[in-house]
Structure 1
Amino acid sequence: MDEPVSLAESVKDMIRADILDGRLDFGARLRIRELATRYGASPMPVREALRSLVGEGLVAAVANKGARVVTVDAEHIRHLFTIRIAVEVALARQAALAIDAAGLAEVATLERERLAAVQGGDFAAGVAINQRFHRRIYEAAGNAEGLVLLDRHWLLLAAIWSRYGYRPERLGGVASDHDHILRALAERDADACGVMTAAHVTKTRQDMLAQIEGYEARVR
């Protein structure tokens, strides 16, 4: 019984990596037999892998049509960020009242690591550390359900950033936003932390929409 489960996990990891790296494009049809051949597996673990990836938000299952990589467009991004702004602001406010000195030190260290990665040109590492920066803050809120929701979205956001990139001018803005959030956390100012988080996530949404629109204009 263990072998099919481990094989399904392996196939899931390979499909996820291909989505995140752009080898499987947004909206691409995912045919069971083609994927089985591609990854050297039988159809059963491929089906299990796709079901799991639906739960992660990277794959959409369409009745009577099979599965596809999720389609990313401006409407999808706006809906996703409407949810994220509400959840992230709530968790940031809670975290400002609950985070301890060790947590603050860890978050500050992560921001230094993120800056070093970005300044060194390793944007993929910068994106990954950025996720850890925010997640460590939200962990302090003690809201497990909120974290599950944000983690689910993060995989898709990572795929979008990998595909479309950041605007260079946004990178400096991220550092400034993070500094303000860190200051609000240190001062245990829930209102300021909520306001700065809302502004930060809103600017991220605007940047992502601009990157997608710019890409689509270039390929028309």
Structure 2
Amino acid sequence: MTPSVQPIDSRSVTELVTNELRRSIVSGDLAPGATFSLREIADLLNVSFIPVREALRNLEGEGLVITNPGKSARVAPLDLEDLHAIYTLRGYLEPQIARASCLLITDSELDRLYEQTQHFGDPTHTIDTVYESHHAFHADLLAPAATTWDMRTLNSLWRAAERYIRIGFKKAVPDPEENLRRQREHEHLVVTFRLRDPDAAAAAVARHLSLNEATAQRGLAAYTETV
């Protein structure tokens, strides 16, 4: 008789620790440049030393932490040149995919995405509460023309940019119209894709990326001057 209880995969603990540390870093709860011991993190999360060490290896591979000799680590500092490099790569890739996607995406999918943009204007939202839906919006907008490798590359770039965007937008000078601006920006993307004009779609995506980078750069510049 086959046992009904399945063995526990120890990697799940490492994944949980990785996810929690990543969340703390990209949200800014663990500040850029902050140092901590592996034992401190293990005690805070009530786990053993081993999954913390494995989690930090994962996060070091993502460029989020720098491990030090011994048993300590440091949150990777913010680098505005890195942010620009990430957006330069996105600026090469995303507009080109948009050129093809605007010809392939269905009207019903554009209707759904337009409806999703209305949530971006909710005044109660912050960059933290809309980041995941914002990520999904852009993935779905490009998906009809994106290859598996396109999406792998984009997800890597989006993850690399996440900490900069979350912290940068939160540190930018507060704008009471920010949520409405975000809604209108994304409405504009959908409306432009409906034109089925590759040049217009590519230009709209490039403009959107440029605006987002500029906002993040302003917030991060102010932030790095105070730390």
TM over 0.5: yes
Q: Give me the whole-angstrom Cα distance separating, in 2, the residues matched to 1:64 and 1:32.
A: 9
Counterpart check, 1:192 vs 2:203? no
Give 3-state SS (helix, strand or coil) of 1:68's partner: strand
5+ long unaligned stretches in structure 2:
1-6
Give 3-state SS (helix, strand or coil) of 2:145's partner: coil
What is the RMSD computed on CA atoms of the aligned residues?
A: 2.7
Q: Which has the larger radius of gyration?
A: 2
Counterpart check, 1:132 vs 2:136? yes
Q: Give me the whole-angstrom Cα distance separating, in 2, the residues matched to 1:64 and 1:84.
A: 36
Structure (1/2) with the larger helix percentage:
1
Give 3-state SS (helix, strand or coil) of 2:82's partner: helix
Query: TM-score of the superposition, structure 2-length normalised?
Result: 0.81
Find the counterpart in structure 2 of residue 207 from structure 1: 215
Q: Give me the whole-angstrom Cα distance separating, in 1, the residues matched to 2:156 and 2:35.
A: 21
Q: Give me the whole-angstrom Cα distance separating, in 1, the residues matched to 2:222 and 2:179.
A: 17
Find the counterpart in structure 2 of residue 39 from structure 1: 45
Identity of aligned residues (%): 25
Q: Deviation per CA, 1:124-168, whole angstroms, max 9, x where unpaired?
A: 223332222111112222322222222233344333343341552
Could you tell me whether the CA contact under 8 Å between 1:54 and 1:60 is conserved in 2? yes
5+ long unaligned stretches in structure 1:
none
Q: Deviation per CA, 1:153-194, whole angstroms, max 9, x where unpaired?
A: 334433334334155255444334323321221121111010
Aligned length: 217
Query: TM-score of the superposition, structure 1-length normalised?
Result: 0.83
Q: Residues 4 and 120 of structure 1: is their aligned pair in 2 closer, same or farther, counting only changes over 3 Å? A: same
Q: Give me the whole-angstrom Cα distance separating, in 1, the residues matched to 2:54 and 2:146.
A: 31
Q: Residues 203 and 20 of structure 1: is their aligned pair in 2 closer, same or farther, counting only changes over 3 Å? A: same
Q: Which of 43, 62, 77 is residue 71 of structure 1 equivalent to? A: 77
Q: Residues 136 and 60 of structure 1: is their aligned pair in 2 closer, same or farther, counting only changes over 3 Å? A: farther
Q: Residues 172 and 142 of structure 1: is their aligned pair in 2 closer, same or farther, counting only changes over 3 Å? A: same
Counterpart check, 1:154 vs 2:154? no
Counterpart AA for 2:187: D
